[in-house]
Amino acid sequence: MIAQGKDPRLQLQGKLNRARGKEFEGRLDAAFEYYRLRGSALVEKTPEPMKPIRSLGRGQFVACYERKAQPDYKGVIKGGRTVMFEAKYTSTDRVTQDRVRPEQGDYLDRHQALGARCYVLVGFHSGAVYRLPWDDWKTMKQRYGRKYVTEADLQPYRVPRDRAGRLLLLG
Protein backbone atom coordinates (compact mmCIF):
# COMPACT_ATOMS: atom_id res chain seq x y z
CA MET A 1 0.00 0.00 0.00
CA ILE A 2 1.37 3.42 -0.99
CA ALA A 3 1.09 6.13 1.63
CA GLN A 4 -0.63 9.18 0.23
CA GLY A 5 0.98 12.38 1.39
CA LYS A 6 0.37 15.91 0.31
CA ASP A 7 1.01 16.71 -3.33
CA PRO A 8 4.41 18.50 -3.45
CA ARG A 9 3.24 20.65 -6.36
CA LEU A 10 0.27 21.89 -4.36
CA GLN A 11 2.50 22.48 -1.34
CA LEU A 12 4.88 24.54 -3.46
CA GLN A 13 2.00 26.50 -5.01
CA GLY A 14 0.60 27.21 -1.55
CA LYS A 15 4.00 28.41 -0.35
CA LEU A 16 4.36 30.70 -3.39
CA ASN A 17 0.84 32.10 -2.91
CA ARG A 18 1.53 32.87 0.76
CA ALA A 19 4.80 34.61 -0.15
CA ARG A 20 3.09 36.68 -2.85
CA GLY A 21 0.27 37.56 -0.48
CA LYS A 22 2.80 38.67 2.13
CA GLU A 23 4.58 40.79 -0.51
CA PHE A 24 1.22 42.37 -1.43
CA GLU A 25 0.59 43.14 2.25
CA GLY A 26 4.06 44.71 2.48
CA ARG A 27 3.21 47.04 -0.40
CA LEU A 28 0.02 48.07 1.38
CA ASP A 29 1.90 48.62 4.66
CA ALA A 30 4.43 50.84 2.85
CA ALA A 31 1.64 52.91 1.29
CA PHE A 32 -0.08 53.44 4.63
CA GLU A 33 3.24 54.33 6.26
CA TYR A 34 3.71 57.01 3.59
CA TYR A 35 0.36 58.58 4.53
CA ARG A 36 1.22 58.39 8.23
CA LEU A 37 4.55 60.18 7.69
CA ARG A 38 2.79 62.91 5.71
CA GLY A 39 0.25 63.34 8.50
CA SER A 40 -2.68 62.73 6.16
CA ALA A 41 -3.94 59.39 7.50
CA LEU A 42 -3.35 56.72 10.09
CA VAL A 43 -4.28 53.29 8.74
CA GLU A 44 -3.08 50.18 10.55
CA LYS A 45 -3.15 46.44 10.03
CA THR A 46 -5.76 44.73 12.16
CA PRO A 47 -4.03 42.14 14.37
CA GLU A 48 -5.03 38.53 13.80
CA PRO A 49 -7.17 37.39 16.74
CA MET A 50 -5.66 34.54 18.73
CA LYS A 51 -7.16 32.35 21.39
CA PRO A 52 -4.70 31.24 24.09
CA ILE A 53 -4.99 27.51 24.71
CA ARG A 54 -2.36 26.81 27.34
CA SER A 55 0.15 28.84 29.35
CA LEU A 56 3.82 27.94 29.08
CA GLY A 57 4.76 30.39 31.85
CA ARG A 58 6.86 33.58 31.74
CA GLY A 59 4.49 35.32 29.34
CA GLN A 60 4.49 32.53 26.78
CA PHE A 61 1.51 30.52 25.66
CA VAL A 62 0.20 28.16 23.03
CA ALA A 63 -2.53 29.74 20.92
CA CYS A 64 -4.52 29.22 17.76
CA TYR A 65 -5.79 31.78 15.30
CA GLU A 66 -9.51 32.46 15.33
CA ARG A 67 -11.48 33.45 12.28
CA LYS A 68 -11.61 37.18 12.08
CA ALA A 69 -14.59 39.33 11.21
CA GLN A 70 -12.76 42.62 10.97
CA PRO A 71 -11.17 43.99 7.79
CA ASP A 72 -7.42 43.78 7.25
CA TYR A 73 -6.80 47.53 7.68
CA LYS A 74 -8.62 50.23 9.64
CA GLY A 75 -7.88 53.85 10.21
CA VAL A 76 -8.76 57.49 9.88
CA ILE A 77 -8.11 60.06 7.17
CA LYS A 78 -7.18 63.60 8.18
CA GLY A 79 -10.44 65.38 8.93
CA GLY A 80 -11.92 62.44 10.83
CA ARG A 81 -13.31 60.05 8.20
CA THR A 82 -12.94 56.37 9.06
CA VAL A 83 -11.57 54.13 6.32
CA MET A 84 -11.46 50.32 6.15
CA PHE A 85 -9.86 47.93 3.69
CA GLU A 86 -10.20 44.21 3.19
CA ALA A 87 -7.19 43.03 1.17
CA LYS A 88 -7.29 40.10 -1.26
CA TYR A 89 -4.47 38.81 -3.42
CA THR A 90 -4.81 36.31 -6.23
CA SER A 91 -2.26 34.57 -8.39
CA THR A 92 -5.04 33.52 -10.78
CA ASP A 93 -6.90 35.56 -13.39
CA ARG A 94 -9.88 36.27 -11.12
CA VAL A 95 -10.98 36.91 -7.56
CA THR A 96 -14.25 35.49 -6.29
CA GLN A 97 -16.79 37.36 -4.21
CA ASP A 98 -16.80 34.67 -1.53
CA ARG A 99 -13.22 35.62 -0.58
CA VAL A 100 -14.88 38.17 1.73
CA ARG A 101 -16.64 36.06 4.34
CA PRO A 102 -20.20 36.96 5.41
CA GLU A 103 -19.09 38.06 8.89
CA GLN A 104 -16.51 40.40 7.34
CA GLY A 105 -19.18 41.79 5.02
CA ASP A 106 -21.51 42.41 7.95
CA TYR A 107 -18.73 44.30 9.74
CA LEU A 108 -18.06 46.48 6.68
CA ASP A 109 -21.81 47.08 6.20
CA ARG A 110 -22.25 48.26 9.80
CA HIS A 111 -19.33 50.67 9.60
CA GLN A 112 -20.26 51.98 6.18
CA ALA A 113 -23.77 52.70 7.48
CA LEU A 114 -22.13 54.98 10.08
CA GLY A 115 -20.15 56.86 7.43
CA ALA A 116 -16.93 54.86 7.06
CA ARG A 117 -15.39 54.52 3.62
CA CYS A 118 -15.02 50.79 3.01
CA TYR A 119 -13.10 49.11 0.21
CA VAL A 120 -11.77 45.79 -1.00
CA LEU A 121 -8.19 46.02 -2.25
CA VAL A 122 -7.38 43.41 -4.87
CA GLY A 123 -3.86 42.57 -5.93
CA PHE A 124 -3.16 40.48 -9.01
CA HIS A 125 -0.02 38.58 -10.01
CA SER A 126 0.60 41.31 -12.63
CA GLY A 127 1.48 43.67 -9.78
CA ALA A 128 -1.54 45.90 -10.35
CA VAL A 129 -3.76 46.80 -7.39
CA TYR A 130 -7.42 47.78 -7.50
CA ARG A 131 -9.58 49.57 -4.90
CA LEU A 132 -13.23 48.63 -5.13
CA PRO A 133 -15.80 50.45 -3.03
CA TRP A 134 -17.53 47.96 -0.76
CA ASP A 135 -20.92 48.52 -2.45
CA ASP A 136 -19.42 47.65 -5.85
CA TRP A 137 -17.92 44.44 -4.42
CA LYS A 138 -21.26 43.45 -2.87
CA THR A 139 -23.14 43.96 -6.15
CA MET A 140 -20.63 42.02 -8.25
CA LYS A 141 -23.30 39.64 -9.60
CA GLN A 142 -25.51 42.51 -10.77
CA ARG A 143 -22.59 44.49 -12.23
CA TYR A 144 -20.72 41.71 -14.01
CA GLY A 145 -23.25 38.89 -14.27
CA ARG A 146 -21.07 36.61 -12.14
CA LYS A 147 -19.63 36.29 -8.66
CA TYR A 148 -16.03 36.95 -9.65
CA VAL A 149 -14.10 39.74 -11.29
CA THR A 150 -11.09 39.74 -13.56
CA GLU A 151 -8.36 42.31 -13.87
CA ALA A 152 -10.01 43.61 -17.06
CA ASP A 153 -13.25 44.23 -15.13
CA LEU A 154 -11.43 46.26 -12.49
CA GLN A 155 -9.58 48.75 -14.72
CA PRO A 156 -11.72 51.72 -13.55
CA TYR A 157 -10.61 50.96 -9.97
CA ARG A 158 -6.87 50.71 -10.65
CA VAL A 159 -4.78 52.31 -7.91
CA PRO A 160 -2.25 54.81 -9.29
CA ARG A 161 1.36 54.94 -8.12
CA ASP A 162 3.57 57.91 -7.44
CA ARG A 163 6.97 58.41 -9.09
CA ALA A 164 8.60 56.28 -6.38
CA GLY A 165 6.21 53.41 -7.18
CA ARG A 166 4.17 53.77 -3.98
CA LEU A 167 0.51 52.87 -4.16
CA LEU A 168 -1.73 55.92 -3.76
CA LEU A 169 -4.49 54.05 -1.97
CA LEU A 170 -6.24 57.13 -0.59
CA GLY A 171 -5.92 59.22 -3.77
In the chain the domains, ranked by start, together with CATH numbers, are: 14-157 (3.40.1350.10)
Helix intervals (H) in 85-162: 102-113, 134-138, 140-144
Q: How far does Cα 151 stand from its chain's mean position?
A: 16
Above 80 in pLDDT, residue 2? no
With DSSP H G I counted as helix, E B as strand and the rest as coil, what are the percentages for the chain, rounded to 5? 35, 35, 35
pLDDT (tens digit per residue) in 91-100: 999 999 999 9
| Whole-angstrom distance, CA of residue 117 vs CA of residue 130 | 15
pLDDT (tens digit per residue) in 64-112: 656 667 899 999 999 999 999 999 999 999 999 999 999 999 999 999 9
pTM for the whole structure: 0.84
